[in-house]
Chains A and B, each alone.
Chain A
Amino acid sequence: DQQVKQNSPSLSVQEGRISILNCDYTNSMFDYFLWYKKYPAEGPTFLISISSIKDKNEDGRFTVFLNKSAKHLSLHIVPSQPGDSAVYFCAAKEGGIQGAQKLVFGQGTRLTINP
């Protein structure tokens, strides 16, 4: 039972354009969502998060949008840069930001930024 799904295993975007990575979830108890970025041979690093009380959170070139009714979130990167090439994981949890509980991850999307 895949509670968090990233249906695009890969995405290729031209440098300078917008990258949009999508994520869907099924568990209505999830109330905190995170995006992680992973380079080869390294552990995932936290990128940006959003609480279910919001529908948008922005941090520099990165913006996460949450549509609770559709149980869908997306990560927008604009403008895309070659260093953004990595695998991006969507993750969800219950208990809000402070809830020290397990993260449920999607399968990841490999983003490639072409010069």
Chain B
Amino acid sequence: GAGVSQSPSNKVTEKGKDVELRCDPISGHTALYWYRQSLGQGLEFLIYFQGNSAPDKSGLPSDRFSAERTGGSVSTLTIQRTQQEDSAVYLCASSLHGEQFFGPGTRLTVL
């Protein structure tokens, strides 16, 4: 597709379960970012991949959060042992030169 896609669009899970969120960036974009937006808050940076460099994980809120990017393209954000405070919209973005293009997000609800 022409834009950034994310799946699933909505995910409801029970507290304590693991979840995986997927991001397909724009083809050819070398940088990929994960953000999350909690209710009433701005977007919070989580992690950033640039080419083959080590990712910038400085925004991950705890060691329950991890992400990988396979083959320099698709990325998966994994949240282990989900907690209710993990409920948010998780947004992925990709870029080639500066401007970041965002996907529609995955709305995660932890019951």
Contacts and interface: CB of A to CB of B under 8 A. Distances in A.
Contacts of B30: 100
B42 A89 contact: yes
B31 A100 contact: yes
B99 to A, nearest CB: 5
Nearest to A107: B42
Interface string B59-101: 1000000000000000000000000000000010101011111
Contact of A89 (B43, B45, B50, B93): B43
A44 B98 contact: no
Nearest to B91: A43
Interface string A80-104: 0000000001010000011111111
Nearest to B3: A43
A102 B33 contact: yes
Given A43-B91, A102-B56, 5 more contacts: A9-B40, A44-B91, A98-B98, A103-B43, A107-B41
Overall SS of chain A's interface: loop
Interface in B35-58: 35, 40-45, 48, 50, 56, 58
B98 to A, nearest CB: 5
Given A100-B50, A102-B48, A43 B93 contact: yes
B104 A43 contact: yes
A9 B39 CA distance: 13
A9 B40 CA distance: 9
Contacts of B100: 46, 103
Interface in A1-46: 4, 6, 9, 34, 36, 41-46
5 contacts: A100-B95, A103-B43, A105-B35, A105-B44, A106-B42
Contact of A46 (B42, B45, B58, B99): B99
B26 interface: no
Nearest to B45: A102
**Closest 7 interchain pairs by CB?**
A43-B102, A105-B42, A105-B43, A102-B45, A107-B42, A100-B31, A97-B98
B103 interface: yes
